Amino acid sequence: MPMSPLPNPAPQPNLETQEFWDATADGRFLLKRCDSCATVIWYPRFVCPACHAIETSWFEASGKGIVYSYTIVRRGQGPYQDAAPFVVAYVELEEGPRVMTNLVDVELDAIEVGMAVEVVWHDTGEGNALYRFRPAS
């Protein structure tokens, strides 16, 4: 995995999200799809929020998307105390969901809503990795 320019706080997987975070160690971005209505579900959970069925299945996302919105954080806190300025964004995945994330490997003044991005993984050192996004190659 590439060096991260940002701190890499570890997630706290729970009973509903363990599979998601385990797959990040292999650089796989898993999404859930409802077996009943085929809605792609985000964040991963027990019940389909569209039709309320409880049968769902994991599949691997493409890792590609576009920037839906972003902000440049000028003052970091917590693990990000010394990281500012850095970018927090919503990325709209090809599969539909808009996920909160960081944009990396990009000049701050080059970021635009709508720009194409791809996932990059940053190891947390605790058996999983953070999904961040950089301009698509």
Partner 1 sequence: VTIRGKAYIAGIYEHPRREIPDRTIPQIHAELALGAVADAGLTLDDVDAYFTDSTIPGMGSLSMIEYLGLSVSYVDNTETGGSSYLAHVGHAASAIAAGKCQVALCTLAGKPRTSRGRWGGGGGEQPPEGSFEGLWGLAGAPYNYALAATRHMYEFGTTSAQLAEIKVAASLHAQHNPNAFLRDVVTVEEVLASPMISDPLHRMDCCVITDGGGACVVVSPEVARTLDRPRVKILGHGESPKHTNNGRVDLTYSGAVWSGPRAFAEAGVAQGDIDYASIYDSFTITVLETIEDLGFCEKGKGGEFVLDGALVAPHGKLPFNTDGGGLCNNHPANRGGMTKVLEAVRQVRGEAHPAVQVPDCQVALAHGTGGALSTRMGSATLILGQEDA
Question: Smallest distance from the beta carbon of 57 to partner 1, in angstroms?
Answer: 16
β-strands 86-93, 98-103: how paired?
antiparallel
Nearest to 46 by CA among 15, 77, 72, 7: 15
User: Tokens at residue 78, please?
Assistant: 């917590």
Closer to partner 1 at the Cβ: 3 or 114?
114
Q: How far is the CB of 8 from partner 1 (least distance, A)?
A: 8
Least distance in Å: CB of 137 to partner 1? 22
Nearer to partner 1, 97 or 135 (CB): 97
Residues 6 or more apart whose CB falls under 8 angstroms from that of 89 comprise 67, 68, 69, 70, 71, 100, 101, 102, 103, 111, 133
Least Cα distance to 13 among 24, 3, 4 occurs for 24
Q: Which residues bind partner 1 (CB under 8 A)?
A: 6-7, 9, 11-17, 21, 39-43, 45-50, 52, 54, 68-80, 83, 86, 88-90, 96-102, 113-114, 130
If the CB atoms of residues 54 and 136 are measured against partner 1, the closer one turns out to be 54
